[in-house]
Chain A
Amino acid sequence: MEVRRLVKMANDIGAFFERGGDAGGVANHIRMFWDPRMRREILVHLDETGGDGLTPIVREALQQHGHELDPGS
């Protein structure tokens, strides 16, 4: 899937949880509402580019909660 769009979606989610600094909230939202292939692709994107284009809170969410998001795990 086009990574640009996934990054945008993730950042939009991040913006909502930004204020409370709630990276867990971001991860949970992605876990609850994203199809596994989308989660996998954004994790790959994080791995490959260090999270190019992602806002800090989203990067933090993916880094800290990556294992919960990885559909393979």
Chain B
Amino acid sequence: MQSITDRDLGTPRPKTTRTVTVEIDHRTVEVPEGSTVMHAAAANGIAVPKLCATDSLEPFGSCRLCLVEIEGRRGYPASCTTPVEAGMKVRTQSERLADLRRGVMELYISDHPLDCLTCPANGHCELQDMAGAVGLRDVRYGYEGVHHLDAETDASNPYFAFDPSKCIVCSRCVRACEETQGTFALTVDGRGFASTIAAGMNEPFMDSECVSCGACVQACPTSTLMEKSVYAHGQPDRTVTTTCAYCGVGCSFKAEVKGTQVVRMVPNKDGQANHGHSCVKGRFAYGYASHPDRITQPLVRASIDDPWKEVSWDDAIAHAASEFKRIRDRYGRNALGGITSSRCTNEEAYLVQKLVRAGFGNNNVDTCARVCHSPTGYGLKTTLGTSAGTQAFDSVEEADVVMIIGANPTDGHPVFASQMKRRLRAGARLIIVDPRVIDLVRTPHVQADHHLQLRPGTNVAVINGLAHVIVTEGLTDDAFANERCDPDEYAEWKAFVSHEKYSPRNVERMTGVRAETLRRAARLYAKGPNSAIYYGLGVTEHSQGSTMVIGMANLAMATGNIGREGVGVSPLRGQNNVQGSCDMGSFPHELSGYRHLSDGETRRLFQQDWGVEIDPEPGLRIPNMFDAALDGSFKGMYIQGEDFVQSDPNTQHIEAAMRAMECVIVQDLFLNETAKFAHVFFPGATFLEKDGTFTNAERRIQRVRKIMPPAAGMADWEVTQAFSNAMGYPMRYAHPSEIMDEIARLTPTFRGVSFETIDRLGSVQWPCNDAMPEGTPTMHVGGFVRGKGKFVVTEYVETDERSSRRFPLLLTTGRVLAQYNVGAQTRRTPNREWHDEDILEIHPHDAEQRGIADGGLVSLASRVGDTVLKARVTERIQPGVVYTTFHHPLCGTNVVTTENSDWATNCPEYKVTAVEVAPVTRLSEWQEQYRDFTRKQEDLLRERASVRT
């Protein structure tokens, strides 16, 4: 079922601005060239009856309900498959057409149960609508004979049911799975009247290839495929447009609501990032918002060994402020700091950094991007001049060659992966640089041309090797590079990469990538003509993360692959608002819009607006905060929506740092791992409970809209504001839009942004200012933001983290589709059914040597710690490398990751840890302790006393 407020034009809008004039039902109308007759009519308010057509899918022409008459043509062509021609005269209504349509409908209805009143789709069923539209009153065929009325419902998927008795075999679901999602999990089983819809080989959906994106459910015109939540809650009565709070794709949704109950989430067809598609998380996994684990009362305690006390907001905020003031008086203002969240809104991130800079009086503010894409900021800023990706997602539709480096889009950025796969099916070529055989290396209808399966930690050698081939074979675009970049730096870079050190043979020795594969990939990328790089944490989370980002930018500049559609260097950013939280000035060295604190002009601007002095010295980064906590100079931390005890490397080190602080304030939905070390807990609000904006990986700012009141009574920005006021720095915002107005006032790249602009345009990509009042989809068109593009030489420096006799394997990490990062939300939804624990992937060869069986328990040990988890023996991973995810706290992946980090930004080197793996029979010591500690903390929560006044 599509959204209750969607208008369906039957077939997709053609991508053209040219129009033709036709006559429909005696009205002369101008319509886009290449429209179908159905689309042309619908766009002009004339609805032709239809069942198998919907405007998210290519026309199919199977139901024969949409017949029309066209002057000069014999018969009754299907309007959904007939393109308009200039001068065409169409009739959509006549007695003959009415007869024919009634006949068709009668056939459908004769095999359909007539229990509309109790059907979950009642009122929004297209079959019901069409029966009405064609004036069907009675059915001549009767209900005996062969029919499908008693077919059984498949309820295996936790989120939607498949009731084949309602199916009209329009195959919209099959086509949605192919065209929209690109999974091809559905088919028509059999043919003719006997045909039915089948998942996989007529298996339950959960056993089939289905990834539960829900596209088929949305495309289904009847209740055959229907969200279970609609069965449970009934039909919604209004929609609210908002933005997904999971990943950096930033899918726009229409939340369908009944009262304040979310009935279902329907991807917004007008969403400019997702065009009406979504993944299993955004569409279905919102149940955490009403999970009983949510804490809805502020909590305080004197020490982490005490039980929690439930207090009023006023008391909690007063207590937190008095503690922070005490610390400030005793240890100085630099002993305090704050963390903004990539899960919260721009406005909230902005307020937290403002509180730190203006209220605490220092620059000890950082954000979770520290541990993921901080090197993106540094690398792209250095070379191109902007700390953000260069393209819009839609740009991929113009790409001829796609190079994916250290990213796994089908799991991490599923909706963009669907768009990319569509382009790949249409013929774009694909290069993958990844230590692991990710899905896109070979998945139905997609096959990478080259897979550069490098050893973890050798990215920079590979990028230099690619550059070596391109430069030495004369495949560069010198005209572009010399004109757009500094020619001397360009020449120096060319000389650098041309050195024999980076010849394919030598690179093969350093990285394990075959010389011939490297050469071919380099030529393919250089040949383009449009070559686009997409990358993820497999690039950034290395000791040379920033170097690699620079290396990719160098390559794009040298081949002229930047500054137009179809090319570019695009980070696939993890969290929903990681771009935004960085834009908002969450880093300790810069103010909003990436302006360094040392820039006096900018500082003065803020000082005037905020009425305080701003410290010109950079503050502590997250890992520095832990170090400073351990040496006693950092004592109080306000953490909004981040769980670094689980997410950050070297867990024991962090736990020790947490214990060393005197006041830790955690603001979150759940008592997360970090909150177990906290003294004050501010209950957070979900994205359904507040207003604001998120900025996705393509710099697109979109609205988050409040659907229900905050469960704890206050939205996160209101809490920060109250805390600031209690700290003595006044804030008086009545609505988040006022915060955005302040951001726009103080940030040149945001000057044109306001809630009003976003509401008007649907979304806007920064820079948005007087020069680009409607925003900027593609950056660096005609010139680089920094002026001349900067080539920087990128020497490959081997990481200190090397395999050794004691730790002969390299561990690398990633994530899966169904879970989201630390999993605090997704683990509290039925998504657990897909992924319930972190698993260690190991190559059969390594497994055999160690006597490890598939599914067996193994210990994973590095020089910093060890944990125990289950093994999966698979050839997805190369010999010498093991792989796991970090979605579940008990699996303790980060107990083994080390404190090595990117040289420029201290982004941790999650992607390379030397480890040893061995079969074991029980959990590790850390896990036993963790279990005890968790159990104790849960008791302390359960025993919480209410001392509300």
- Residues of chain A having any CB pair with chain B under 8 Å: 1-2, 5, 8-9, 12-13, 15-16, 18-20, 29, 32-38, 71
Contact = CB atoms under 8 A, between A and B. Distances in A.
Given A5-B627, A5-B899, A12-B543, A35 B795 contact: no
A18 B589 CA distance: 24
B618 A20 contact: no
A32 B596 contact: yes
A71 B618 CA distance: 11
A32 B633 contact: no
Interface residues of B, number: 33
A16 B619 CA distance: 23
B904 A37 contact: no
A12 B903 contact: yes
B624 interface: yes
A15 B617 contact: no
B793 interface: yes
Contacts of A2: 627, 630-631
Given A32-B598, A36-B617, A15 B624 contact: no
Contacts of A20: 793
5 contacts: A2-B627, A16-B903, A16-B904, A19-B795, A32-B618
A5 B900 CA distance: 9
A2 B905 CA distance: 18
B618 to A, nearest CB: 6
A5 B898 CA distance: 12
Interface of B: 334, 363-364, 496, 543, 546-547, 588-589, 596, 598, 617-621, 624, 627-628, 630-631, 633, 793, 795, 797, 800, 899, 901-906
A65 to B, nearest CB: 15
Contacts of A15: 795, 797, 903
Contacts of A38: 620, 624
Given A5-B627, A29-B904, A37-B334, A16 B618 contact: no
A12 B899 CA distance: 13
Interface centre among A1, A5, A29, A34 (most CB of B within 10 A): A1
A1 B628 contact: yes
Nearest to A39: B617
B831 to A, nearest CB: 37
Contact of A13 (B598, B628, B899, B903): B903
Contacts of B633: 1, 37
B916 to A, nearest CB: 23
Nearest to B899: A5
Given A1-B627, A2-B630, A12-B543, A33 B589 contact: yes
Contacts of A33: 589, 618, 621, 904-905
The 7 closest A-B pairs by CB, nearest first: A12-B903, A15-B797, A1-B627, A35-B620, A19-B795, A36-B617, A1-B631
B332 to A, nearest CB: 10
Nearest to B492: A20
Contacts of B797: 15-16
Given A1-B624, A34-B618, A18 B795 contact: yes
Given A5-B627, A19-B795, A35-B624, 20 more contacts: A1-B631, A2-B627, A5-B899, A9-B901, A13-B904, A16-B546, A16-B795, A16-B797, A32-B596, A32-B598, A33-B621, A33-B905, A35-B364, A35-B617, A35-B618, A35-B620, A35-B621, A37-B633, A38-B624, A71-B617
A13 B800 CA distance: 13
B397 to A, nearest CB: 36
